[in-house]
Amino acid sequence: MASTRSSAGLARWAALGGILYVVLFIAGTILLFSGEPDSDASPAKVIAYYSDSGHRDRIQIGWLVAGLGIFFFLWFLSSLRRTVRRHEGEDGFLTALTTIGGVVYATLAFAAIAVNVGIRTMSDDTYHHTVFPGLIHAADDAGYVLHATGGAGASAMIIAASLAFLRSGVIRPWAGWLGVAAGILALASIAFFPQAAIALWILVVSGLLFARSARDVPTHTGAVAP
């Protein structure tokens, strides 16, 4: 006698990782950048801000909160992949593209906050409390460009998943094409505002996956081995 356990229940709760990602990443971003000097601020103002250990501590807390959000995004991605695979019903092309796109997006988001925070707080020890305004500006630019570049991965994930749902008929055509449009818009993430489309798509799909998968959770799944 051999038994197998369905992962449907776990996948259902993992779907909520998308909502947690958006909430935590926004909260972490606020902690990371709230109150920092403008890009055109004088070097003296930048030095004074980053010489304050309290400001550096808040930046590091923001890094932890945003990073935790990306961790939950990976759970959402796994649940999304499972759903796309179930509805695609072909050779897995859209499933693979959804997964690869999501992984690229998460990887570059991780890299963005790591590079940004590592440079902005290095005066804690590496440079013995010496702050270099030019490096702070470079850290902000590098972090932003890395995260915006990840929009290409998010675009692939959104378009592939939307097409899979559209072709399977589980969503209305207008909703599927709206998702495709959001994916195309994500390619322009460097302009910042399209990043809101990514967040909104993740929020909506996360909630829908959680709600719709409730009917798929079995009370017991078993298999009898001869």
Once rounded to an integer, what is the mean pLDDT over residues 45-69? 91
172-181 long-range contacts, Cβ below 8 Å, gap at least 24? 179/205
Judge if pTM exceeds 0.85: yes
Reported as a single tens digit per residue, the pLDDT across 166-198 is 988 888 888 889 999 999 999 999 888 889 999
* Domain map (residue ranges) of the chain: 17-214
Query: 128 falls in which pLDDT band (50, 70, 90)?
Result: low
Once rounded to an integer, what is the mean pLDDT over residues 37-48? 86
Closest CA to 116 of 94, 95, 91, 141: 141
Reported as a single tens digit per residue, the pLDDT across 69-122 is 999 999 999 999 999 999 887 789 999 999 999 999 999 999 999 999 998 888
In the predicted model, what is the mean pLDDT of the chain? Answer: 87
95: alpha, beta or left, given left = phi > 0 and alpha = psi -120 to 50? alpha
Residue that has been written with the tokens 């992962």 in this structure: 7
Q: 147 by DSSP, 3-state: which?
A: helix
In whole angstroms, give the CA distance from residue 188 to residue 16.
26
